[in-house]
Amino acid sequence: MPETSNLVAFIGATVVLLLIPGPAIILNLNRTLADGRSHGLATVAGLEIGDMIQASLAALGLSAVLATSVSLFNAIKWGGVAYLVFTGVKTLLTRPDELRSDSTHTTLAQSFRQGIIVNALNPKTSLFFLSIFPQFVDAKASNAKVQSLVLGLVFVVLATIFNGSYTLMASGLRDWLLRGRAVYVMRRYVSGFAFIGLGLLAMTAGHPSGAD
């Protein structure tokens, strides 16, 4: 088990990360407002599978491999940048379907799958596990892998709580928001520019070693 002080500090760092708007929050709100609570929760389930993938990679030490390989780090970074920018441009150029509270626009499986893809490739989460996560693990300890697994599980649990809360809040306001154009503006313009902005932000991420 991680030391209590490390665990508390890790929880604090994770909460700060989860409060920063990113691809997961945008997708979660879009799916909930567009299709309702069940689709939002399906998205959350997918998002947490994506988080588990990233946490597992970190626990297995693959994040350390990325931290020492500039080329592999850059390949993942630019893959995430391309995905975010492409999604943003596509969102801006696509006129959203008219929303009604009694209709859906994606299947539950599609919502679930989108969640996995977004968080498995989420550059914000990747950079967290690459540069911040290792600081809370005593690499010299015999139980270093167990520490990583516990911290990864804590991350997933906290992310589930936060993302689930966003879904419940958004679904509660859905009928009211559908009466105006707020949802349309959010789904097309706010989401589009947010995805592009996150892609541009990911471009500035440097390798933990300081190399380009």
Note whether 166 and 69 are within 8 A (CB).
no
Domain range list for the chain: 4-98+108-203
Comparison of pLDDT for 20 and 63, the residue scoring more? 20
**0.85 surpassed by pTM:** no
Task: Kindly indicate the confidence band of residue 51, based on its pLDDT and cuts at 50, 70 and 90.
Answer: very high
Sign of CA dihedral 205, 207, 210, 212: negative
Comparison of pLDDT for 3 and 152, the residue scoring more? 152
Average pLDDT, the chain: 78
pLDDT beyond 60 at 101: no
Query: Tokens 């441009």 correspond to what residue?
Result: 89
Q: What pLDDT does 50 receive? A: 93
Note whether 34 and 173 are within 8 A (CB).
no
